Amino acid sequence: MKKLLSIALICVTAFTTAQNNSSKIPSDAAVVATIKGQNLLQLMSMEELNSSFMGTEIIKELSRKNNKFSALEDFGFNLNASSHYFYQANDSVNYNAFLVPIKDTTKFEDFLKTQSKKEIINNNGLKSLESNNEVAIVWDNSTLVMVVASPNKMYFQDEQVMANYGLKKDNYYGYNTEATAEVVEEYDYDEEEVEETVTESTEYEEEEIVEEEVEIEETVIESTEEDYDYGYTYDNSNYEIKKALSNKWSLLKAEQILLQAPSRSIIKNKSYLKSLDNKAEATLWVNDFGQLYSNLLGSMYYGQLAGFDLASMYANNGLTAKLFLENDKMMLNTTYIMSDQMAKSYKIMTSRKLNKKFLNYVNEDRMIGFMSYAMDTEGTLIEYPKLIKSIYSSMPEFGEEAALGVDLFSLLLDEEAVAKVLKGDMLFLLSGISKQDVTYTTYEYNDDYEYVEVEKTKTETVPDFLLMASTEDPSMINKLLNYSANKQMVTFNNGYHTFKIPKSPLAIHFTIKDGIVFLGTSEAEMEKIVSGTFDAKVSKKSKKMMLDNSYSIFVSAKQLAAQLPIDEMGIDRTGKLEWFLNTSEDAYITASKIKGNTVNTEMVIEVPKTEENALKYLFNIIEKFAK
Amino acid sequence: MKIDSYLKYSLLFVIFFSITSCFEIIEEIDLNSDGTGTMTFTLNMSRSKSKLASIMLLDSVNGYKVPSKADIQKGLDDVVSELQKAEGITNIKKTADYENFIFSVKCDFNKLDNINKITNKVTSQQKSKTANSSFLFDNKKGVFKREYSYSSEVKKQYNKLKTENKKVFDDASYTVIYRFDKEVASQNNQQAKVSKSKKAVMQRVSAMDVINGSGDFTTQIQLKK
């Protein structure tokens, strides 16, 4: 496992010339991820990478007794180019593929020989290992391709397909119940059908496929001969057949990727090209979530039973994400592109802006973090059932009833009235940390060591929260509070209600003022709110973050480090947490209002001034926590 | 996010922020000259009561299911019912203070060997070997002995715990008190102290010392004749 991780890490740090390698990605890839080695090496030199904790660990892990490596370049990869991952699916198989650029084939093959005893086969410049398993590895002078093929389980449940491949009907547990011996005898391989399917899914030449078929037949016979007799009719021939098929398909796919003509590649896809960014260290592109859900659900045995039509709900919904590692921050920018229908609903659901009056109750000198959330309750109550209906109404059973239920819910609900009680915008503040005295019972002993119970006091650290929500008609909330007061569940003092959590220092206070429902743990803050003496202090940056977005999350590491009594809490035996908090800067996530059909999400972690850039900062954190 | 979710997360924060939870265990033996006596076992978690109160509002924390009041009650009832079945054990009393999280079980015994039998039974039912204690009283010679053997299995089990769960033992303590109707002439445990009245011996050991094996309860007490 460690070895696999190390190889994966190398792949992650490897590169190839972007244009060359991306031209090997097929035009119908559903997901593409790219890591740009050139950009990464601008942030951290090869020497620094080799001597870093991660670098030395990878070299150590992959070195053998007689083959010691001294640098990451010794593995033969081109670390100064781009590596890609892509996911491609069709009706019968899902492919996960990695493309890693090679700089020095001799070095790479020498490295491979230290990791595997298998012979290298050279077929006109296309090289592979003598027999591949689930992971097919094929390379030429410039690129290594690794492919894992997962057969689509739904596809193999089709009776015609099963007959074509000699599969037996699965029982409830997913394996068939006929005797193993019969499988070998009955196994009637249909060459034509395989040819057809493989051609469909891999677009490969016929000649080579015929060669491969022989291999499959052999594999099946070999493996079934080795089956054990457990005294009942357990038979894993289905598994063996599918395994042989996926091994074969992954090898074919890997070869096909290497030989692919640029004209059939993704570099003609406008949406994909838009996701590329020279300045980004890594990018991710998802073409269509609807298609992706459809493939993923198809690969599960009982996917169809759930009946949720996620594929149609997310049809034409795509995503691009870009990771930037800069000197002062690391930033992940995501653009989510919605279908027209979903964008229309989403626009209505998020049409409300955050109540500006919330800002009168924020004090950044004490605040550790916040979360803002601006939805429109009325819009959500109207639009959400529509989306739910589109998912549930296609259920094979009770779909009609579910749709009817959703309609009935919408009919009975007075969306406007509900929206008056809570409009849908909220601001949640982790407004500080306070100390409270709490009593506890312990013992004092007399001259005979007989004891008496005595009550002592200690100080406990309690986090302070303040939740604000807009209301237009607080009468329903007031009725609830009055009912709770009458039942003695809450008390009313100094203009606010208090619910005391039994035996706990934590009490939750409620009040309603200026069309805002306040719910908080700090008595001092609640008194200030009621008396109108709240000492608000908000920076422009925070104000913008809260008001301009549908939601935002912010955490101030500095405030957390300053206020958290780490020693007292005994949560940091190694001192790592304290180091992390003391060296960390602010972190935040924002999701923009919808513009056209797109929502932009930004995740930012600021880099401390003591660090040169975000990549070195990341390496530093990993080293600190791994050691 | 719903308001009840906020409250749930708030509770988790309270648990996280609470200063190290701790508890104390007190084991008392009041021994008469004829070998009969009373044993009391008390678990006091009052110092952690705010944390426990918050924890008990949740279903599970740190991967462990949180016992409900009914679960604790049943556990105590099981202890009482086991004691009722034991030979030479009478007058069993239990107390449960859920306000302060203090629980105790008290019983009379005819001879200390009755206690040893219960301890042996409990130990034999446990999957892993834990530390073992046994008592002996020679009423003719006026000698009280406690034999204690540490098992490294305790440390192994402790090491398997997640860091956040290990915290529970940081400030916890285990106290044993032996009271007699005669004065103590001598006692040989360096970690134990004789009371001013000379009729009692007490040893207080931190939970970490019990786990590491440095807390040794082996004691021999010679009573005056």
Chain B contact set for A519 (CB, 8 A)? 3, 6
The rounded percent of chain A whose pLDDT value lies above 70 is 80
Distance of residue A417 Cα from the nearest chain B Cα, in angstroms: 18
pLDDT at A170: 64
Q: What is the dihedral of CA A517, A520, A522, A523, to 10 degrees?
A: 50
Instruction: Give the Cα separation of A500 and B56 in Å (integer).
Output: 15
Higher pLDDT, A296 or A198: A296
Please determine, for residue B17, whether its predicted confidence score (pLDDT) is greater than 60.
Answer: no
Whole-number pLDDT of residue A191 = 39
A461/B contact by beta carbon, under 8 A? yes
B99 min Cα distance to partner chain A (Å): 7
Q: DSSP 3-state assignment of A158?
A: coil
Cβ contact, residue pair A506, B54, below 8 Å: yes
Q: Given a cut of 50, is residue A374 above it in pLDDT?
A: yes
Global model pTM greater than 0.80: no
Q: How far is A268 from chain B (nearest CA, A)?
A: 42
Of A430, A441, A501, the CB nearest to B46: A441
Which chain A residue shows the shortest CA-CA distance from B196?
A447
| pLDDT of res. A440 | 85
> What's the pLDDT score for residue B160?
80
pLDDT for res A332: 95
> Are B3 and A373 within 8 A, CB to CB?
no
Highest mean pLDDT pick, A53-67, A131-145, A302-316: A131-145
Q: In this predicted model, what pLDDT tens digit does every residue of A349-363 receive, in sequence order?
A: 999 999 999 999 999
Q: Which of B202, B209, B203 is nearest to B170 (CA)?
A: B209
- CA dihedral defined by A35, A40, A41, A42, rounded to 10 degrees? 130
Cβ–Cβ below 8 Å for A442 and B199: no
> Which chain A residues touch B104 with a CB distance below 8 Å?
none
Q: Taking residues A120-148, report their average pLDDT.
A: 88
What are the structure tokens assigned to A591, written together? 């999701």
**Three-state DSSP class for A91?**
coil
Across the interface, do B102 and A441 touch by the CB < 8 Å criterion? Answer: yes
Res. A288 pLDDT band, cuts 50 70 90: confident
Does B151 contact A at CB distance below 8 Å?
no
Q: Which token pair is A50?
A: 């080799």
B13/A350: higher pLDDT: A350
| β strands within A484-566, DSSP E | 491-493, 496-500, 507-513, 516-520, 549-555
| Average confidence (pLDDT) over A11-19 | 42
- Residue contact B200–A449, C-beta within 8 A: yes
Q: Does B198 touch chain A (CB under 8 A)?
A: no
pLDDT tens digits, A449-484: 888 889 888 887 778 889 999 998 888 888 888 888
Give the DSSP H or E segment for A626: helix A614-626
- For the stretch A187-232, pLDDT in tens is 344 433 333 333 333 434 333 333 333 333 333 333 333 444 444 4
Residues in chain A closer than 8 A to B195 (CB atoms): 445, 447-449
Lowest mean pLDDT among A111-115, A227-231, A319-323, A485-489: A227-231
Q: Which residues of B touch A504 (CB under 8 A)?
A: 14, 50, 53-54
pLDDT score, position A438: 79
Measured between CB atoms, which of B50, B102, B199 is closest to A438? Answer: B50
Distance from C-alpha of A572 to C-alpha of A123, rounded to nearest angstrom: 57
Between A and B, how many residue pairs show a Cβ–Cβ distance under 8 A? 98
User: pLDDT-derived band of residue A6, with 50, 70 and 90 as boundaries?
Assistant: low
- pLDDT tier, B222 (very low <50, low <70, confident <90, very high otherwise): very high
Residues facing residue B104 across a β-bridge: B42, B95
Q: Tell me the pLDDT band of A588, cut-offs 50, 70 and 90.
A: very high
pLDDT at residue A298, as a whole number: 61
* Shortest Cα–Cα distance, A508 to chain B (Å): 9
Q: Do B202 and A445 touch (CB under 8 A)?
A: yes
The reported pLDDT for the residue numbered A519 is: 92
User: In this predicted complex, what is the ipTM?
Assistant: 0.74
Residue A480 in contact with partner chain B when CB distance is under 8 A: no
What is the widest separation between alpha-carbon atoms in chain B? Answer: 73
Q: What is the pLDDT of residue A20?
A: 57
Query: According to the model, what pLDDT value does residue B128 have?
Result: 60
Residues forming a β-bridge with A89: A94
Go through chain A and tell me how many residues it has.
Answer: 627
What mean pLDDT comes out for the span A487-501? 84
User: Which one of A373, A441, A460 has the shortest CB-CB distance to B19?
Assistant: A460
Under the banding of pLDDT at 50, 70 and 90, the label for residue B63 is low
Q: Crossing angle of helices A399-412/A377-392, nearest 10°?
A: 170
Query: Has residue A401 got a pLDDT over 90?
Result: no
Count of Cβ atoms closer than 10 Å to residue A457 Cβ:
8
- Contact criterion met (CB < 8 Å) for B50 and A505: yes
A59-73, A80-94, B144-158: range with lowest mean pLDDT = A59-73
Contact status of B102 with chain A (Cβ, < 8 Å): yes
pLDDT value of residue A9: 52
Q: What is the pLDDT of residues A506-534, one digit of tens each?
A: 788 999 999 999 999 888 899 999 999 99
Residues of A in contact with B26 (CB under 8 A): 443, 451
In this model, does residue A367 exceed pLDDT 60?
yes
Q: How far is B17 from chain A (nearest CA, A)?
A: 6
Interval B96-100 mean pLDDT: 85
Among the partner residues B16, B46, B53, nearest to A504 by beta-carbon distance = B53
Q: What mean pLDDT is predicted for residues A119-125?
A: 87
Res A224: pLDDT = 38
Give chain A positions within 8 Å (CB) of B20: 568-570
Instruction: Assign A280 a pLDDT band (cuts: 50, 70, 90).
Output: very high
Task: Assign B128 to helix, strand or coil.
Answer: coil
b (16+ CB within 10 A) / e for A240-264: bbbbbbbbbbbbbbbbbbbebeeeb
Q: B31 at the A interface (CB within 8 A)?
A: no
* Residue of chain B nearest A521, judged by CA positions: B10
Judged by DSSP in three states, B125 sits in helix
Q: How far is A342 from chain B (nearest CA, A)?
A: 21
Over residues A256-279, the mean pLDDT reads 88
Share of chain B above pLDDT 70, in %: 83
Say whether A449 and B201 touch across the interface (CB within 8 A).
yes
Q: Which residues contact B201 (CB under 8 A, 6 or more apart)?
A: A449, B177, B178, B184, B187, B189, B192, B193, B194, B195, B219, B221
Percent pLDDT > 90 in chain A is 28
CB contact under 8 A, B53 and A519: no
What tens digit of pLDDT does each residue of A80-105 get? Answer: 899 999 999 888 888 999 999 999 99
Tokens 């989510």 sit on residue:
A336
Write out chain B residues lying below 8 Å of A503, CB-based.
49-50, 52-53, 99
Residue A442 near residue B189 (C-beta atoms within 8 A)? no
Which residues of A are less than 8 Å from B100 in CB distance? 440-441
* pLDDT score recorded for residue A308: 60
